[in-house]
């Protein structure tokens, strides 16, 4: 599969790379990258490649869509609203638990190094904990810390009864072994759900993972809360990362959801033909506006995990965020779609809080 | 998906249930079951259901295929021959290891209860070990043994340096907790590859399982040894069991194979349409002759994991073995297919021996 932003209109434009929540979806591009709005070229593109000679004319229509048009098109899956609902539910449960057994769920977050984006995510997670009444514990270590030092903190958190979830903010400094560090987190406190034992249990029928990774869990939760049927549907997951694509596919298929799932990835030939047959599309590939309206089956439900910043001089910050799916084209074709931002993004932290609460309940056997 | 033997010709006929090697593919049927040969009704059947009123006439053509016809059709993927090759390679390696460091790989097999089929599989595994020079250790416990007794033996084998692989023959007596028992096997000696940690590593990019489950490993090995390209191909796995379908799908997709994989299962609608698009089909569902010739894409490669005994009065034992795929129809359509028996079956034990050898090499750091 040669996937790229197919609506390029400037060979010299630059794609901005920011971290999405958890810094998990964005990939670095190789080759010339272009920036533009989709919605301008609705013809079916069989195989997309990075274009060194972009079309000379580009009619930007996306930004011109009126409110009336939006109302007449796809249902907008409001992740911000659902995340708020979930956080309210968590607040109630945290309070009930505290009143009943005097236990407050606790999340430990470790930040190693000075990355600004990572610092922002950690701050957001801390704030989110506060907002629902979960205790947060933060450890910040300098970039040049020894791996053993990180492991010591993890070990202490593993043993600390006030901590029910441990999260190590990624990426780690290059001299550290990510596998060693993530594997050191107790399976009972792995609220990110990235431990291979959790993934194995997720893949196996009749087994239950202790935790489901937050972003894919958020995708499924959106489908559930909006009442979209999954059982028996054809689902396509675009992207096969360990933290979104692969677990999302496993969730859709195994865990009582019963969809028929295909994973589309960088080696897939004619991805658009496969996506076109899907009733449910989850895209987590980190390429702006890659999935065009022509790729989508009329009436499909689209969950767009990508959060891709692209240059836009008309925006105050000089960039705007777009998903993997060309929203303006897609909303005229599909029955429902998540916006970017305000779709899956807010769900990830809500699911992290949910996993931390579940962990505390399990550890204290509180129903 | 309503999957059934679509070539039924007798409402009163009985499907025989035997265990396949490992007793893993056969399922119990619900409802009236019919027995017959496929090859008689090549029309496309959109959705298959168990038929209470089977057609009154049935022309059996399958058994009439001449040698010339076979020669003009699909390549037969000879699992028996490949398994022999692999066993010869293992024999050489076992001998080289013994000569170099004085270590002989050892496999411990536990049989609990009196099931005749299980006893046969254990005997076959023991014989296979002997044939390549691997030591085998057998424990037989009565049906009413306590779970703790089984766990004690597993613990001893975990600690025994002469044992490099531990296999607990399934199914276990009903009073035992299969999960507890399988989880007790050290991850370093889990030559069946069924531990969730192994499955998790199999599912994750950048991780390596200690062992790959034997049957799906055998399927991929057949594709490799016959030189069929997997990368970029569309693959369909029929069946999503923990021990064949799901790991086979993971193997095709994740572990350097790069196929685009769809799993078809009991809730899949119009499975034949999905199968029809596949370049590679692996079927592991345990329904005789379920996949008809019309389901298959011309030129596809078919790996048939099903080993289904069906009544046949013309056979000396009163039954014959057939696969999930209607062989006689399929071989006129596809480019290559495994026969049943003699396809995947012999590969499963060969892979068990291969995993045991790998384990011994890893434990003793022998290249």
Tell me: pLDDT of A14 over 90: no
Per the annotation, the verdict on B78 as an active-site residue is no
What distance in Å separates the CA atoms of residue B122 and residue B132, rounded to the nearest whole number?
16
Q: Do the chains contact at B260 and A240, CB–CB below 8 Å?
A: no
- Provide the pLDDT for residue A252: 96
Per-residue pLDDT band at B47 (split at 50, 70, 90):
very low
Cα–Cα distance between B228 and B22 in angstroms, integer? 27
Average pLDDT, chain A: 84
Domain that holds residue B289: 1-55+72-82+213-351
Q: Which residue of A has its CA nearest to B183?
A: A197
CB A41 within 8 A of CB A55: yes
Give dist(CA A333, CA A74) in Å, integer: 7
Task: Please provide the average confidence, as pLDDT, over all residues in chain B.
Answer: 84
Higher-confidence position of B28 and B115? B115
Burial B342-357 (b: 16+ CB within 10 A, else e): bbbbbbbbbbbbbbbb
Mean pLDDT over residues A338-357, rounded?
97
- The pLDDT tens digits of the residues spanning A245-289 come to 999 999 999 757 999 999 999 999 999 999 999 999 999 999 999
Measure B284 CA to nearest chain A CA, in Å. 15
Inter-chain touch A232–B265, beta carbons under 8 Å? no
Query: Which of residues A61 and A114 earns the better pLDDT score?
Result: A114
Tell me the pLDDT band of A6, cut-offs 50, 70 and 90.
very low
Element (H, E) at B106: strand B106-112
In a domain, B109, yes or no: no
Say yes or no to pLDDT of B71 above 50: no
Separation of alpha carbons A166 and A183, rounded Å:
12
Confidence of residue A16 (pLDDT cuts 50, 70, 90): very low
- Between A234, A258, A268, which is nearest B260 by CB? A268
Residue B37 pLDDT grade (very low, low, confident, very high; cuts 50, 70, 90): low
Domain count, chain B: 1
Examine the pLDDT at B53 and tell me if it is beyond 90.
no
Q: What is the pLDDT of residues B100-145, one digit of tens each?
A: 999 999 999 999 999 999 999 999 999 999 999 999 999 999 999 9
Q: Quick one: pLDDT at residue B254?
A: 73
A194 located within any domain: yes
Which DSSP helix (H) or strand (E) runs through B348? helix B345-363
Q: What Rg value do the Cα atoms of chain A yield, rounded?
A: 21
- Across the range A312-332, mean pLDDT stands at 96
Asked if residue A281 belongs to a domain, the reply is no
Position B367 in a domain:
no
CATH number at residue B275: 3.40.50.720
Helix (H, G, I), strand (E, B) or coil at B322: strand
Does A80 map to a domain? no
Residue B52 pLDDT level (bands cut at 50, 70, 90): very low
User: Which pLDDT value is given to residue A255?
Assistant: 58
Percentage of residues in chain B having pLDDT higher than 70: 80
pLDDT digits (tens, 9 = 90+) for B256-300: 799 999 999 999 999 999 999 999 999 999 999 999 999 999 999
Residue B254 lies in a domain: yes
Is position A169 annotated as part of the catalytic site?
Answer: yes
Of B203, B232, B234, the CB nearest to A246: B203
B6 pLDDT more than 60: no
Catalytically annotated residue among B5, B125, B279, B287: B125
| Stretch among A13-22, A47-56, B347-356 having the lowest mean pLDDT | A47-56
Closest Cβ–Cβ partner in B207, B240, B254 for A253: B240
Residue A132 confidence (pLDDT) above 70 = yes
CB contact under 8 A, A269 and B261: no
ipTM score assigned to the predicted complex: 0.81
pLDDT at A49 over 90: no
Mean local confidence (pLDDT), A290-304: 98
| C-alpha distances in Å from residue B160, one per residue of A31, B137, B154, B166 | 55, 11, 10, 11
Q: Tell me the C-alpha to C-alpha distance, in Å, between residue B295 and each of A53, A298, B36, B70, B292.
A: 43, 26, 18, 20, 5
Say how many CA atoms lie within 13 Å of A346 toward its Cβ: 18
Establish if A67 belongs to a structural domain: no
Residue B38: which pLDDT band, with cuts at 50, 70 and 90?
confident
Is residue A51's pLDDT more than 50? Answer: no
> How far, in Å, CA of B6 to CA of B38, rounded?
8
Which band of pLDDT confidence, cut at 50, 70 and 90, is reported for residue A39?
A: low
pLDDT of B33 over the 70 cut: no
Distance CA B125, CA B95 (A): 19
Residue A197 pLDDT exceeds 70: yes
* A238 to chain B: closest CA residue: B260
Mean pLDDT within B303-316: 95
- With CB atoms and an 8 Å threshold, state whether A254 touches B240: yes
Instruction: Give me the residue from A202, A205, A260 closest to B262, CB to CB.
Output: A260
Average pLDDT on B11-30 reads 34
- What confidence tens digit (pLDDT) does each residue in A98-123 have? 999 999 999 999 999 999 999 999 99
Q: How far away is chain B from the Cα of A151, in angstroms, using its nearest Cα?
A: 20
Contacts of B207 in chain A (CB under 8 A): 179, 196
For the segment B229-259, what is each residue's pLDDT rounded down to a tens digit?
999 999 999 999 999 999 999 999 975 799 9
- Given B5, B78, B190, B192, which residue is catalytic? B192
- State pLDDT tens for residues A144-153: 999 999 999 9
Average pLDDT over residues A155-182: 96
Q: Which residues of A touch B178 (CB under 8 A)?
A: none
| Per-residue model confidence (pLDDT) at position B307 | 94
Report whether pLDDT(A50) > 60.
no
Chain B residues inside the 8 Å CB shell of A267: 231-232, 258-260
B254 vs A240: CB contact, 8 Å cut-off? Answer: yes
Our answer to whether residue B297 is catalytic in this structure is no
Residue A40 included in any domain: no
CATH of the domain at A169: 3.40.50.10860
Assign 3-class secondary structure to chain A: CCCCCCCCCCCCCCECCCCCCCCCCCCCCCCCCCCCCCCCCCCCCCCCCCCCCCCCCCCCCHHHCCHHHHHHCCEECCHHHHHHHHHHHHHHHHHHHHHHHCCCCEEEEEEECCCHHHHHHHHHHHHHHHHHCCEEEEEEECCCCCHHHHHHHHHHHHHCCCCCEEEECCCCCCCCCHHHHHHHCCHHHCCCCCCHHHHHHHHCCCCCCCCCCHHHHHHHHHHHHCCCCCCCCEEEEECCCCCCHHHHHHHHHCCCCCCEEEEECCCCCCHHHHHCCCCEEEECCCCCCCECHHHCCCCCEEEECCCEEEECCCCCCCEEEECCECHHHHCCCCCEECCCCCCCHHHHHHHHHHHHHHHHHHHCCCC
Determine which one of A5, A78, A190, A192 is catalytic: A192
Contacts of A200 in chain B (CB under 8 A): 195-203
Q: Residue A322 above 70 pLDDT?
A: yes
Distance, first Cα to last Cα, chain B: 47
């Amino acid at each position: 599969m040669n996937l790229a932003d197919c609506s390029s209109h400037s060979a010299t434009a630059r794609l901005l790379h920011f971290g999405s929540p958890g810094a998990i979806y964005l990939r670095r591009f190789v080759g010339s990258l272009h920036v533009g709005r989709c919605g301008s070229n609705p013809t079916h593109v069989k195989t997309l490649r990075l274009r060194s000679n972009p079309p000379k004319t580009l009619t930007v229509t996306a930004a011109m869509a009126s409110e009336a048009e939006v109302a007449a098109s796809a249902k907008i899956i409001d992740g911000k609203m659902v995340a708020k609902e979930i956080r309210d539910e968590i607040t109630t449960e945290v309070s009930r638990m505290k009143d009943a057994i005097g236990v407050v769920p606790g999340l430990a977050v470790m930040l190693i190094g000075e990355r600004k984006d990572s610092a922002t995510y950690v701050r957001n997670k801390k704030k989110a904990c506060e907002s629902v009444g979960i205790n947060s514990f933060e450890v910040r270590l300098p970039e040049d810390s020894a791996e053993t030092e990180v492991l010591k903190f993890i070990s202490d958190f593993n043993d600390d009864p006030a901590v029910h979830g441990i999260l190590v903010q990624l990426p780690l400094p290059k001299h550290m072994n990510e596998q060693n560090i993530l594997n050191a987190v107790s399976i009972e406190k792995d609220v990110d759900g990235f431990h291979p034992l959790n993934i194995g249990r997720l893949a196996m029928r009749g087994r239950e993972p202790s935790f489901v990774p937050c972003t894919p869990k958020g995708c499924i939760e959106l489908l559930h809360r909006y009442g979209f049927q999954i059982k028996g549907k054809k689902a396509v997951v675009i992207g096969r990362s360990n933290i979104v694509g692969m677990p999302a596919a496993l969730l859709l298929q195994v865990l009582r959801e019963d969809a028929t799932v295909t994973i589309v990835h960088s080696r897939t030939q004619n991805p658009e033909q496969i996506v076109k047959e899907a009733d449910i599309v989850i895209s987590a590939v980190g390429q702006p506006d890659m999935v065009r309206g022509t790729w989508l089956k009329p009436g499909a439900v689209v969950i767009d995990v990508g959060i891709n910043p692209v240059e836009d001089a008309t925006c105050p910050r000089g960039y705007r965020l777009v998903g993997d799916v060309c929203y303006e084209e897609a909303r005229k074709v599909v029955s429902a779609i998540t916006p970017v931002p305000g779709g899956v993004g807010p769900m990830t932290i809500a699911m992290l809080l949910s996993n931390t609460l579940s962990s505390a309940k399990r550890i204290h056997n509180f129903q």
